[in-house]
Amino acid sequence: KAGVTQTPRYLIKTRGQQVTLSCSPISGHRSVSWYQQTPGQGLQFLFEYFSETQRNKGNFPGRFSGRQFSNSRSEMNVSTLELGDSALYLCASREGLQEQFFGPGTRLTVL
Amino acid sequence: AQSVSQHNHHVILSEAASLELGCNYSYGGTVNLFWYVQYPGQHLQLLLKYFSGDPLVKGIKGFEAEFIKSKFSFNLRKPSVQWSDTAEYFCAVSANNAGNMLTFGGGTRLMVKP
């Protein structure tokens, strides 16, 4: 099976813009989670989607949002970008009680 | 809310040395425990996991970890490290009532000198 894929791999945006990141889970996986990885804060949970419903949400402002489609693909959106949003955004998928499988991430740089 | 602490931020070892990375978590309920590794330029990969049963779990590449419930610990060990083990290691916890949300420790950067 193909692994978790994320597009784009790299993004450069300026403050105030918005951005949409995409994640395709492993085939058959219905749960998709998003994480933010920064040198200062480490890996932090953003949100989780399962069968198109947000099941869990981390402690991030409302500028961070996401959605999941019927084919389990997921997108996350960050509006009104701030410098501090520069990070590696990781997507992970899971099915049942198994572990989460991570994608390569999208490196977002906000200038 | 759960939290995870990794005591060592940076570890430098010579090849063939033994490795032990500490991980402690705080949560009063039932947890699932994981160690993930991130090699330079690569994505997070699972080394091993503990859901239930034997508290000594074996993972890939010769790694193992022991869950000590009374100490809220899940330390990672390897008897003899190799240069290729140079990577960042993350301990993670998910509480059974928190869905798939993983709480990660701050990570430990391991450098193995050839």
What's the gap in Å between the CA of A42 and the closest CA on chain B?
A: 6
Longest dimension (CA), chain A: 40
pLDDT of B99 reads 67
Query: Under an 8 A CB cutoff, do A99 and B46 touch?
Result: yes
- Report the alpha-carbon distance of residue A15 to residue A109 in Å, rounded: 10
pLDDT of B46 reads 94
Mean confidence (pLDDT) of chain A: 95
pLDDT level of residue B98 (50, 70, 90 thresholds): low
Mean confidence (pLDDT) of chain B: 93
Q: What is the mean pLDDT of residues A48-52?
A: 94
A59 C-beta neighbours (distance < 10 Å), count? 8
Query: Under an 8 A CB cutoff, do A44 and B36 touch?
Result: no
> Which backbone phi and psi does A62 adopt, to 5 degrees?
-65, -10
> Which CA distances in Å does A16 have to A9, A20, A78?
21, 14, 10
A111 C-beta neighbours (distance < 10 Å), count? 10
Per-residue pLDDT tens for A64-101? 999 999 999 999 999 999 999 999 999 999 987 778 99
Query: Under an 8 A CB cutoff, do A44 and B49 touch?
Result: no
Per-residue pLDDT tens for A13-22? 999 999 999 9
Tokens, residue B74: 């899940």
Find the CB nearest B100 among A31, A90, A102: A31
pLDDT of B28 reads 76
Query: Under an 8 A CB cutoff, do A42 and B44 touch?
Result: no
A vs B: CB pairs below 8 A? 54
- Report the alpha-carbon distance of residue B8 to residue B19 in Å, rounded: 12
* Chain B neighbors of A48, CB-CB under 8 A: 99-101
> Which backbone phi and psi does B74 adopt, to 5 degrees?
-150, 75
Beta carbons of B55 and B68 less than 8 angstroms apart = yes
Q: Kindly tell me the sign of the dihedral angle through the C-alpha atoms of A101, B46, A35, B109.
A: negative
pLDDT over 90 percentage in chain A: 90
Per-residue pLDDT tens for B5-64? 998 899 999 999 999 999 999 987 888 999 999 999 899 999 999 998 999 999 999 999
Per-residue pLDDT tens for A27-45? 999 999 999 999 989 999 9
pLDDT of B1 reads 73
Tokens, residue A78: 């960050």
Find the CB nearest A48 among B42, B99, B103: B99
From B109, B112, B103, select the one nearest B32 (Cα to Cα).
B103
Alpha carbon A78 to its chain centroid, in Å, reads 10
Find the CB nearest A102 among B44, B98, B101: B44
Per-residue pLDDT tens for B62-93? 999 999 999 999 999 999 999 999 999 999 99
pLDDT level of residue B97 (50, 70, 90 thresholds): low
pLDDT level of residue A25 (50, 70, 90 thresholds): very high
* Chain B neighbors of A105, CB-CB under 8 A: 43
